[in-house]
Amino acid sequence: MAERPYVPEEYTRQPLPEVRGNTPGGPVPESEFWEPRLQQSTEGQLKEIGVRTPEEEYFNFEHGEKFAMVREKEGDARQPVVRLHDGREVSFETWRTLRTESLRAILEQADPDYAQAYMTMLRDHPEMAQLNVHAGSKEQYPTLEFTGGFWKRPENKDENPSIVVEMSSEGHYQQLMVDRETSARRAADMLGIDFEELKQNPKLLKLFVFLHEVGHAQDYIMHYRNDPRNGTEPDYDPVSENQKKRDAEMASLPVPGANPVRVRKMLEEGTLGPYFQKYKAHYETRGIDTIDQLVAAQEEAYRSLPSEHYPDMFAARVLRNHWEEFGFGKKSGTM
């Protein structure tokens, strides 16, 4: 058989570059570091799609919104503002607050626990105000049957990452502890609790899954879009770079390229059995003798991928650091 792709080691995390406020000619006003982003429409016209802040955070605009630097009434200082589609002009901080409230409203509709988790997490990770959130159902997104959400990689580097969250009851997560037991046990281990304790509190798994998906988006923002090469090297594209590393990792799985949800779908559809028989000799060399062992091995290998381990750690850290705030009683230690 052909040599299998290796699983890349944990990515080298690049520090966020500091904004330089001085040049040989003297201090540079902070206003110079705001960068409106433009995109050419199909009609050939340029339209404003967002703005990058001096802290290297990027925010998408809704239709009709535009960025401007407005000079204060007294002095030469300029302040960032956003002009809304209805003609109103608000400070950037006010606009950012309105955006955060909009995201919270979407999450409140899906599940108030999501909204609390998002607002709590935002205090520690303000960069996640750049996140787009969509509430969905299993009818809209069949993959939600075996998970609680998923993240969506941007289509281009000027877009923000998104997550889709499940609008469901905690009974959905009780069933996930059966269907995805390996992953649920991994979550319990990372939270420092027994699996039985997790089974008694499905809210814990619900928040872990939600924050895990946020962690995917945070990983992309901090370690791909904020990579110093983005904007300085013309050939660097954070979206394709993230996709290439993910593809290499996925190719290393027992069933290459398939996440555990897809493998379970193959089991339901009756296609996993023939697939296993075709490659049985290969799997036996890896100690996988049955279809059930293949399903379990796929789940375990998937959870160990660097691109899955990072969001797992992100979710565990937020939950452990705010354990009592989330209503889970007293727990010692933070991460």
pLDDT at 168: 67
N- to C-terminal Cα separation, the chain: 43
Give residue-wise pLDDT tens across range 99-118.
788 888 888 888 899 999 99
Consecutive H or E run containing 243: helix 238-250
The C-alpha angle 26, 29, 35, rounded to 5 degrees, equals 125
Annotated domain spans of the chain: 26-94, 96-321
pLDDT at 114: 92
Give residue-wise pLDDT tens across range 51-73.
878 877 777 777 788 888 888 77
Residue 59: name the closest of 102, 119, 16, 107 by CA: 102
pTM for the model stands at 0.77
- The values of phi and psi at residue 208, to 5°, are -60, -45
Lowest-pLDDT range, 13-17, 136-140, 315-319?
A: 13-17
Distance CA 33, CA 92 (A): 14
Residue 253 has pLDDT above 90, yes or no: yes
If you average pLDDT over residues 314-328, what whole number do you get? 95
Please answer whether residues 314 and 306 qualify as being in contact, where contact means their C-beta atoms are separated by less than 8 angstroms: no
Residue 153 has pLDDT above 80, yes or no: yes
If you average pLDDT over residues 211-227, what whole number do you get? 94
Distance CA 213, CA 291 (A): 28
The backbone region for 56, taken as left when phi is positive above 0, alpha when psi lies in -120 to 50, beta otherwise, is left
Give residue-wise pLDDT tens across range 164-196.
988 767 788 999 899 889 899 999 999 999 999
Consecutive H or E run containing 48: strand 46-52
**Number of residues assigned to the chain:** 335
CB under 8 Å, gap of 24 or more: what pairs does 168-171 form?
A: 168/111, 168/137, 168/138, 168/144, 170/202, 170/203, 170/206, 171/202
pLDDT at 16: 36
pLDDT at 3: 35
Residue 252 has pLDDT above 70, yes or no: yes
